[in-house]
Chain A
Amino acid sequence: MSKRYADAFFFTGYYGLIALAILFALIPIVIAVVLSFDNRTFIGPFPPTDWSFRWYEEFLTSDYYHQGLKTSLIVSSTATLFSTVIGALTAIAIDRGRFWGRGVLQSLFISPLVIPTVVIGFGVLMFASRLGIVDGLPRLIMGHIIITFPYVVRTTLAALIGLRPSYFEAALSLGATPYQALWHITIPLARTGIIAGAIFAFVMSFDEVAVSLFLSDPFTYTLPVALLAQMRANLNLTIAAVSVIFIIVTIVLIWALDRIAGLDKIVGQGVYGRIR
């Protein structure tokens, strides 16, 4: 019997720990969401006593935030577009190519990113000024492509590694050139990875602060940079409202990601099903 008690004790502790960890991660988010509906003009004791949508109104009517949101959307979508194309092609090259340093590149892209974003931000700033690019927008897009395209490479590579090489060879034996085989067979079969990478890239770019701080100019700044600046200038709860909007956008994108990945499980059974 004592063995059973020990086991029960262990599992109670185990699940308790997990519950604590989840709570620890969720509480700040809950606080931000609740505070965004606070009617007080100062940050008072929690929970708020008075409710309103005033911070949302403030966000929606503020030109400063508008400008930031607009820049963010332009930068993130442009960067995502470039990252997806460059990243997917890079992944295919690494997976299919036979060249010196291929193994190093593969492990480099598969492993978590190692260069601090601050370093990337500073580097791009210097590089852009050397190239004579002083406008905020192209600079921001450059920086965001650099930080997001490894995500596309990684997810695409993961999808490609799972593909049997015989698909590509079957296409060749049926008369397709390598380019046609890539376009009709390899890329469609890796689409889950490519789309997941694109969504990842967008979320990462939309959320990015450090690189954007370096590359913004007084008139071109992303939403997170605007938030940071507002927080330093006059701390008010608009930040909480914007945070909620951020959370909603992220949840929608993650949901889309799941739908796409989940959808593929139904359509793409042939990849995993039956044979072996």
Chain B
Amino acid sequence: MTTVLDLQSIEKSFGAVRAVDGVSFDVARGEIVALLGPSGCGKTTTLRLIAGFEQPDGGRIVMNGVDVALREPYERNVGLVFQDYALFPHMTVAQNIAFGMKHRGTPRAEIPKKTAEVLERVHLSGVEKRWPSQLSGGQQQRVALARALVTEPDLMLLDEPLSNLDAKLRHHLRIELREILSKTGSTTIIVTHDQEEAMGLADRIVLMNAGRIEQIDTPERLYAEPKTRFSADFIGQSNWFEGTVRGDGADGTAQVDTPAGPVSIPLVNGFAAGDRIAVCVRPERITLTGPDLESTAPGQTRVAGTVDAVEMLGSDIRVWLKTANGAQIQSSTKYLGGPRPKVGTKAAACFNAADCILLEAEGKRE
């Protein structure tokens, strides 16, 4: 796999704020990478550094083997789709698409043909003569995509590409976007704060927080094996049990004493008796049972409590259980019909040792 982009310890400060603080990752040809993180985490600054609108204080931005950190935007072959699309309002769709080709040296005679081709690729044929203001939000987004794609950039950058669209359309366009990008084989970086968007579009996710990278992984591994507490909390929902590891275990499990009671965890290397650890359990791994059943299977944990709140989401039903010590446990199950659990009834949350994600109590493992 050829590496198209290689960021090496990029740093950028604005005044006293370290917006990007030693960020390194690479992108292979044809890969879709999502830069994910909360607002202010430095993902947009990283994008602007790659596009050339800002220049880094330190580090190297290597594109196809050449350090481009100090090059002007027009000296890099990077296509950009803006959050607000930035279609030129005084130009028709065709003129918008032709703009990049004119400035990137496409022969004039080829422009109409290429325009038609790229519009077909984004499923928007026949709108050449329209003005941007005559298009819907989704159509504008696709024209912006076509405008960037048509010059065949080495790297496509998409800044929050779906955030300006309504929920239904967003889902539809996400699938279409994925299809267009993989069909063109574009190497792409998507900046987003929406974990669903990142999970749905990217081959790999670069999770950022406070100017630093928290974790780089595939969507599956990021969800199943978060490396930090931030990762676990940012992607999906989680229940946390903090406590001290007790040595005695049975059948390959160990016990952790937590305020909610003992929790069974798998016996893995790295933790010894007396260590403080944080146990994360995803809501969908928790099943609710009646209050009287005793824990049967070894390695299973039961935490008793009362139903505190119920949220009906259609396909899923979410139940919050309040334990004796006041902690809340969230469970999420497929809704299969019938009445919802009543608030105030006694119940117990059950989960297996295998479903526990183990982190050091302070946050980082290792």
Interface residues of A (CB under 8 A from B): 164, 166-167, 169-177, 180, 184-185, 188-189, 267-271, 273-276
Contacts and interface: CB of A to CB of B under 8 A. Distances in A.
A172 B140 contact: no
A172 B104 CA distance: 11
A172 B53 contact: yes
B82 interface: yes
Which label, helix, strand, loop or mixed, suits the secondary structure of the A interface?
A: helix
A185 B84 CA distance: 16
A177 B74 contact: yes
B103 A174 contact: yes
Contact of B86 (A166, A184, A267): A166
B12 interface: no
* B interface bracket (residues with beta carbon within 8 Å of A): 20 to 34
User: A166, A176, A267, A275 — which one has the most chain B CB atoms within 10 A of its CB?
Assistant: A275
Given A173-B51, A174-B100, A270 B78 contact: no
Given A176-B99, A269-B131, A170 B74 contact: no
B165 to A, nearest CB: 10
B84 A166 contact: yes
B108 interface: no
Contacts of A274: 133, 135-137, 140
B85 interface: yes
B89 A268 contact: yes
Contact of A189 (B74, B82, B90, B100): B90
Nearest to B98: A174
Contacts of B249: none
Contacts of B86: 164, 166-167, 169-170
Which label, helix, strand, loop or mixed, suits the secondary structure of the B interface?
A: loop
Nearest to B80: A173
Contact of B89 (A169, A175, A271): A271
B271 interface: no
Contacts of A271: 89
27 contacts: A164-B84, A166-B84, A166-B86, A167-B86, A170-B80, A170-B82, A170-B86, A170-B88, A172-B52, A172-B53, A172-B72, A172-B74, A173-B74, A173-B80, A174-B100, A174-B104, A174-B147, A174-B148, A175-B74, A175-B104, A175-B151, A267-B90, A269-B131, A270-B90, A270-B132, A275-B140, A275-B164
A268 B87 CA distance: 12
Nearest to A168: B86
B219 interface: no
Contacts of B88: 167, 170-171, 185, 189, 270
A167 B91 CA distance: 12
Q: Which 9 A-B pairs have the closest CB atoms?
A: A270-B89, A175-B103, A174-B100, A269-B133, A166-B86, A170-B86, A173-B80, A270-B133, A172-B73
Contact of A174 (B85, B132, B151): B151
A169 B73 contact: yes
B211 to A, nearest CB: 22
A171 to B, nearest CB: 7
A164 B83 CA distance: 12
Given A175-B151, A274-B137, 6 more contacts: A174-B99, A174-B100, A174-B147, A268-B90, A270-B132, A274-B135
A221 to B, nearest CB: 43
Nearest to A180: B103
B79 interface: yes
Contacts of A184: 99
Nearest to B90: A188
Contacts of A275: 84-85, 137, 140, 164
Interface string B130-169: 0111011100100000011001000000000000100000
A268 to B, nearest CB: 6
A188 B90 CA distance: 8
